Each structure stands twice: as C-alpha cells, then as structure tokens.
Amino acid sequence: MARSPRATVKSVVRNPRSLDLGLLIVAISAVCSAGFLMTRVGQLAALDQQVRQLESFGVAITDDTYKQLRDVVPYRPAISAAVILIGWPILWAVGARFLAAVGDRIAGLPRRSEEDRARRRAQVLTVVVHASAIFALRAIIAAPVNYARESLGGAMSLGSLMPALGDSTFPARLLGAVDLFVVWWLVLIALGLSILYQTRTLPIARWLFGAYAGGAAALALTQALRGGV
C-alpha cells in the first residue's frame, strides 16, 4: 500500500482477504507499543502523558491522583497491547460496515441480496485493513523516536513540525490532534473506496477529511476551553 496503493487495492478488491494482514498489523503494532512501555523511559513517558492529558482538561493533579496514575503504569504495556489486539479489529469491522452502507447509498446502488451485501462489506473491510498497514510502519518508526524524545505521542503529528507555536495554544493543540499517518490512512481509504465504487477519489477524501478535521477541532477546542486558554 505504501509503494503502489492503486495496484494493491485493485488486486485485493478482486479477491478480498484481510485476516492474515490484519494479524500481522496488530502483532507488529502491539509488540512495538508494549515494548516501548516496558522500558523505564516508556514508563516515565506514559506517566507524563497521563498527567498532561488530565491537566489539558482542567483536572488538578493531587498527590493521590499522581499515585493512582503511577500505580497503573506497570500495566500500561498489557493495556496497550490489548487495545490494539482487540480494539483495532473491532474498529475495522464497524468502520467497514459503516463505510459500505454509506458508499452504497452515495453510489445509488439498488438493494441487493444479503450475499452481495456481505461481499461488498468484505471488500470494504479489505480496503480498510490494507490501508491500515501504514500503522504498522508508524509503530516501527514511532518506538525509537519516542524513546529518543523520552515522550509518548505527538511525534507523528503536525504539531511536532511547528514547535514554535507552544503547547498550550489552540493552534498547537489543533495541529497536535492531527496525526500524519492517520491523514495518510484516510487518503488510502479514499483511494480504495473510489476504485471499489468506480467514482472519483476527491469527493470521498473531502468527506473523510471533513469528519477527521471536525473531530480534531472539537478535541482541541475542548482542551483549550478547559485549560483556560
């Protein structure tokens, strides 16, 4: 998907299969995430991230709160791995079902048999999973970068490219909520759906990016208001 996405999508749409690649993606991502969190640097970074997230929502960090956060740190590798191994496949399945329903409606396709709908959902799921291969690449890159930065999260965001904005301003929070690999993922999904439904990529990409931008803006605005900015 990284080197020749169009050819890959055309191939997998003809023969939908996502289990083997899905297992590989979650395995690589889980190992990289848990491995980093098992290090001393990763544990301190996870604790610092939790504190900063709570503070960004206006929560006062007391000694008891800090102790509770610190007590959870040893379990973070297992929690992170479980979220990836269990949560990602669920999100893929739910997302594929939603995208298939929306795609059929937008394309104006007539009602079809359950067998045809199941095949279309399998094709969309294949597109979503293959597009998610870049998240395995992200995990491989992010682990050493986060270790060198002694920080968790934000290394792959637009905010990391503009450090002069500061951490507490609304523009910084907005850019920090936009992950470059998620943007890449949305581009690949838009491309895949356009090939599957034989339509233009731009309208699909505009719809996906609009939803993502709205979510990022809402998160940044909530953090800014609760943080007193």
Domain segments of the chain: what residues? 5-226
Is residue 173 predicted with pLDDT exceeding 80?
Answer: no
For the entire predicted model, the pTM comes to: 0.83
* Residue labelled with tokens 């870049």: 134
Report the alpha-carbon distance of residue 109 to residue 181 in Å, rounded.
32
pLDDT at residue 185 in the model: 92
pLDDT band at residue 229 using 50, 70 and 90 as cut-offs: very low
The H-or-E segment that residue 185 falls in is helix 180-196
State pLDDT tens for residues 69-102. 899 989 999 999 999 999 999 999 999 988 888 7
pLDDT at residue 54 in the model: 81
Q: Which long-range contacts (CB under 8 A, 24 or more apart) does 108-115 make?
A: none
Instruction: Give the mean pLDDT of the chain.
Output: 83
pLDDT at residue 87 in the model: 95
From 167, 177, 178, 158, select the one nearest 227 (Cα to Cα): 167
Q: Are 170 and 224 in contact (CB under 8 A)?
A: yes
Residue type, 194: S
Report the alpha-carbon distance of residue 212 to residue 174 in Å, rounded.
11
Report the alpha-carbon distance of residue 128 to residue 135 in Å, rounded.
11
State pLDDT tens for residues 100-127. 887 777 666 666 666 777 888 889 999 9
* Number of other CB atoms surrounding residue 110 within 10 Å: 6
**143 Cβ contact partners less than 8 Å away, ≥ 6 residues apart:** 32, 33, 35, 36
Report the alpha-carbon distance of residue 43 to residue 49 in Å, rounded.
10
pLDDT at residue 196 in the model: 87
Please, what is the angle between helix 201-226 and helix 180-196, to 10°?
150
From 71, 72, 75, select the one nearest 38 (Cα to Cα): 75
| 179 DSSP β-pair partners | 157
Q: What is the mean pLDDT of residues 147-160?
A: 76
Q: Is 157 helix (H, G, I), strand (E, B) or coil?
A: strand
Q: Are 196 and 13 in contact (CB under 8 A)?
A: yes
State pLDDT tens for residues 203-224. 888 888 888 888 877 776 776 6
